Amino acid sequence: MLSSRVNERSGGKKDPFWLISSACVGEGLLMCPHWSRFVCSTANLGVSEEKRKKSRQQVELSQARVMNLLSDGMELITNVKVAADAKESQRRTDLREARRLQVEKLESEARSGMEKFEEITKGWGQAKTKLKCQTKEVDLLIERMEEQMESLTRARRQELEQVEKEYEEERKILLTGNTSKWEQAAMARETKESERMTQRRSKTEEYETMLQKLSLEGIEEYNLTKDMLEWKQQPKYGQLTQEKQEYNIQVLKEREKDDILFIIRQKRKNARLYDIMSSLKVQVAAEEEAKRLDDDSRHRQQRRHAQKTNWHFEAVDGKRLRDLWQMNEEEVRELAERALDIDRLLYAAGAGRAGEVSPGTVKRLLQLLCDEAGFLVESQLLKLLTPLDKDSQSFIKLDSIFSALGIRSQDDVYRLAEFFSNYRHQQTQQADAEEPGEGATSDLLHPDDVLAALKAFTAQYTRPGPTDPNSPGKIREHQSPATAGTRPRKGPGEAAAFWDSLANAIPESRLSTWTALDRGLEKYHTVLRERWELSTETQALQRKNQELRMLLSQAFNSKVNSELEIPPTQLMKMIPQ
């Protein structure tokens, strides 16, 4: 049912299949008259009979085809609907069958239920009759029990009444007997009591009289005894003093005992104090020891501290010294350099007395170096060099020697040559000074002097220069304050030598020229100074002169002149005339 409703819903307000089919059929039916009219119209136009037939045939054919198409399409479409209907009806029949089965089941259940119910009701009936019999029996039983109970109670009650009656009679008899006895006894007692009262009264009176008599007797006796005692107490004073003395003796004895105890205690105390004293002595000794140790350590510490401060100051001083040294050194170096430069200039300007180093000299020098400074070449290299010819041997040797000496460029070589030649000059001068007779044998160094010259060269050219930064740098590094706090610690002699070397940068031979130059310059200086003084003097004079001239012109031009009878101008004019 539901599916069909859905079907309907989806279909909208009209049955879609019906709609489509009706529309199609309508169109198909409409086709016929339209086409027939078309056919008729063509006929009216007078087309031949055959053609008409043909066209009609064609019309019919297409009509039939369209109809077929239509019916096939419809069938295809309605197949769905039919299938749905079939399914729906099948479902409904199934549902109905299921319902029927269920109803049957329910009915059978109802029937069996009814049967059961009847059975149960029948059972109830039997049970009821049984119960009725039982109730009757029970009723009878109860009735009889009640009767029995009643008769029994009645009989008992009667018996009880009779017993009670008997008991009451008995009691009455007993009561009367007892009361009579009781009265008799009471009467007897009363009489006895009155008798005893009278007896007692008489006795008390008797006793009172006796008491009075006795008290009188007692008082008399007391007075007698009192008098007796006062008489006995007179002789007891002596006895009392004796007792007092005894008591004093005892007290004294006690005190002695106490004293002895005290002395013993004091002695003990004394011994204890001795002990304490000795222990204290030991303690004091230990303390002193400790104190001494303590002082010792403190002193050590102080010393260490002082040492440290000392080191510190040393370091600071060293640093300051280094700085100072460095500063001074630099200053001195600068000065020395400047001096050397000037010296060189002087030398060069002086006339180039040494002259340029000729290539031949250089070559000879190199040969000399090669021969004499072979120790600078590594031994292994020498071994390797042996097979080579002489020229290449010497070339490689020179190369290694130069690298050892820190010579890099040609300039350096020339400088070396120059130095050597200078050195020779010095040597020769010295030699001249010592032995003027000998004179120079060769224009080059003597082979023995080569080492010394080299040493001097290396010593001189170890400062940093733009041309040889490497190996002199190495040497410089060795001397630099950075690596060595060592240098300032060098012996004073060494420092002095250092400073001397610096001071003697200019050789002695040159110094004479220096001094001469100095003298000359001094003289020149004094001359210049004089000239300057003179020029200042002349300038001052000129100024004065000018001022005077100004004054004069003023004097001439003033009005006073004209007023004067004889103007000074005239006078002036006249004077020269």
Partner 1 sequence: MSTKSMYPRVAQLNVFGDHGQLRRIIAEDPAWSLALVPPLTKLCLQNIVKNFEEKQTLVELLPAHRDDVLGRLSTSLPLHVTANLIDDPGYWRRCCVQRWDLCDVSQYGHSWKHMFFERHLENLVELFVPDTTPPQTILELVPLCRDHVRRLDIAQLLPPIKEPWMPGRGRQGEGWQQEQGDGEDASDTASDAGPSMDHFDFGLLLHRLSCLEELRLVYGVRDCGINFEWNLFAFTLRDCESLAIALKSCQTLKILRLHQSKVEDERCRMLARHLLDHPTLRELDLSHNLIGDRGARAVGKLLTRSRLEVLRLCDNEIGGPGALAIAHALSRGAPIRDLDLRLNRLGDEGGRALGHALRTNGTLRRLHLGANELGEPSATALAQALVQNDTLTSINLSANRLGAGGGQALEEGMSRNTSVMECDVRLSEVGEESEASISRVARNNRDRTRLPDGV
Nearer to partner 1, 58 or 178 (CB): 58
State the DSSP code for 575: T
Instruction: Determine the size of the site formed for partner 1 (CB under 8 A).
Output: 26
Interface with partner 1, residue 98, by CB under 8 A: no
By CB under 8 A, which span of 71-79, 343-351, 362-370, 378-386 interacts with partner 1? 71-79
Q: Is 23 in the site for partner 1 (CB under 8 A)?
A: no
Binding to partner 1 by residue 103, rule CB under 8 A? Answer: no
* C-beta of 71 vs 561, nearer to partner 1: 71
Per-residue tokens: 251: 């007290």
Using the contact rule CB under 8 A, the part of the chain among 1-9, 215-223, 394-402, 550-558 near partner 1 is 1-9
Question: Which window, 72-80, 116-124, 297-305, 435-443, contacts partner 1 (CB under 8 A)?
Answer: 72-80
Return all residues near 404 (Cβ < 8 A) that are at least 6 apart: 376, 377, 471
Question: In degrees, to the nearest 5, what angle opens at C-alpha 425 toward C-alphas 421 and 431?
Answer: 140
Q: Which of residues 431-460 bind partner 1 (CB under 8 A)?
A: none
Task: Report the SS3 class of residue 468.
Answer: coil
Q: Which stretch binds partner 1 (CB under 8 A): 90-98, 337-345, 361-369, 538-546?
A: 90-98
User: DSSP string spanning 349-418?
Assistant: HHT-SS-PPPHHHHHHHHHHHHHHTGGGS-HHHHHHHTTS-HHHHHHHHHHHHHHHHT--SHHHHHHHHH
Binding part of the chain for partner 1, among 32-40, 252-260, 310-318, 400-408 by CB under 8 A, reads 32-40
Under the binding rule (CB under 8 A), the answer on residue 42 touching partner 1 is no
Nearer to partner 1, 28 or 473 (CB): 28
The minimum distance between CB 46 and partner 1, in angstroms, equals: 21
Told to check if 85 binds partner 1 by CB under 8 A, we report yes
Binders of partner 1 among 397-416, rule CB under 8 A? none
Write the CA distances from 314 to 306, 323, 361, 412, 490, integer angstroms. Answer: 12, 14, 53, 42, 15
Of 144, 126, 25, 36, residue with least CA distance to 74: 25
**Binding to partner 1 by residue 67, rule CB under 8 A?**
yes
DSSP state of 447: G
- Residue 426: how many other CB atoms lie within 10 Å: 16
Single out the segment in contact with partner 1 by CB under 8 A; choices: 74-82, 394-402, 473-481, 517-525: 74-82
User: Does residue 353 touch partner 1 according to CB under 8 A?
Assistant: no
Task: Name the one range near partner 1 by CB under 8 A: 29-37, 104-112, 222-230, 272-280.
Answer: 29-37
Report the C-alpha gap between 577 and 565 in whole angstroms.
Answer: 20
The rounded distance, in Å, linking the Cα atoms of 40 and 56 is 10
| Cβ-contact 70, 24 below 8 angstroms | yes
Min CB(82)–partner 1 separation in Å? 4
Q: Is 92 in the site for partner 1 (CB under 8 A)?
A: yes
User: What would the DSSP string read from start to end of 92-148?
Assistant: HHHHHHHHHHHHHHHHHHHHHHHHHHHHHHHHHHHHHHHHHHHHHHHHHHHHHHHHH
Read off the tokens for 218. Answer: 């007692």
Q: Which of 30, 64, 284, 459 binds partner 1 (CB under 8 A)?
A: 64
* Rounded Cα–Cα distance for residues 481 and 171 (Å): 159
Residue 60 in contact with partner 1, rule: CB under 8 A: yes
* Piece of the chain touching partner 1 by CB under 8 A; list 59-67, 149-157, 295-303, 480-488: 59-67
DSSP secondary structure letters along 246-311: HHHHHHHHHHHHHHHHHHHHHHHHHHHHHHHHHHHHHHHHHHHHHHHHHHHHHHHHHHHHHHHHHH
Q: Which of 19, 23, 32, 384 binds partner 1 (CB under 8 A)?
A: 32
Please identify, among the stretches 80-88, 116-124, 172-180, 266-274, the one whose residues bind partner 1 according to the rule CB under 8 A.
80-88
- Whichever of 29 and 131 has its CB closer to partner 1, that residue is 29
Instruction: Round to whole Å and give the CA distance between 420 and 454.
Output: 8
Tell me the window of 44-52, 84-92, 324-332, 569-577 that interacts with partner 1 (CB under 8 A).
84-92
Q: Given the complex with partner 1, which of 32 and 551 has the nearer CB atom?
A: 32
Integer-rounded Cα Rg, in Å, for the chain is: 88
Is the dihedral angle over the CA atoms 121, 123, 129, 135 positive or is it negative? Answer: negative
To partner 1, the closest distance from the beta carbon of 110 in angstroms equals: 23
The full DSSP string for 142-199 is: HHHHHHHHHHHHHHHHHHHHHHHHHHHHHHHHHHHHHHHHHHHHHHHHHHHHHHHHHH
* Residues 192-251 close enough to bind partner 1 by CB under 8 A: none
19: tokens are 């709609």
The residue length of the chain stands at: 577
Q: Please state, in angstroms and as integers, the Cα–Cα distance from residue 412 to each residue in 11, 231, 393, 463, following that order.
A: 119, 165, 21, 14
- Interface residue with partner 1 among 40, 61, 86, 528 (CB under 8 A) is 86
Q: Which is nearer to partner 1, 71 or 513 (CB)?
A: 71
20 binds partner 1 (CB under 8 A): no
**In the complex, what is the shortest distance from the CB of residue 132 to partner 1, in angstroms, rounded to a whole number?**
47
By CB atoms closer than 10 A (0-12, 13-18, 19+), residue 78 is: middle
CB of 126 to partner 1, least distance (A): 43
Work out whether 55 is an interface residue with partner 1 (CB under 8 A).
no
Q: Which of 93, 158, 302, 570 binds partner 1 (CB under 8 A)?
A: 93
- Closest approach, Cβ 77 to partner 1, in A, equals 12
Report if residue 83 touches partner 1, rule: CB under 8 A. yes
Task: Please tell me whether residue 5 binds partner 1 under the rule CB under 8 A.
Answer: yes
- Indicate which single residue of 42, 55, 63, 400 sits in contact with partner 1 (rule: CB under 8 A): 63
Is residue 4 within the footprint of partner 1 (CB under 8 A)?
yes
Q: Which residues of this protein are in contact with partner 1, per CB under 8 A?
A: 1, 4-5, 8, 13, 32, 35-36, 59-60, 63-64, 67, 71, 75, 78-79, 82-83, 85-86, 88-89, 92-93, 96
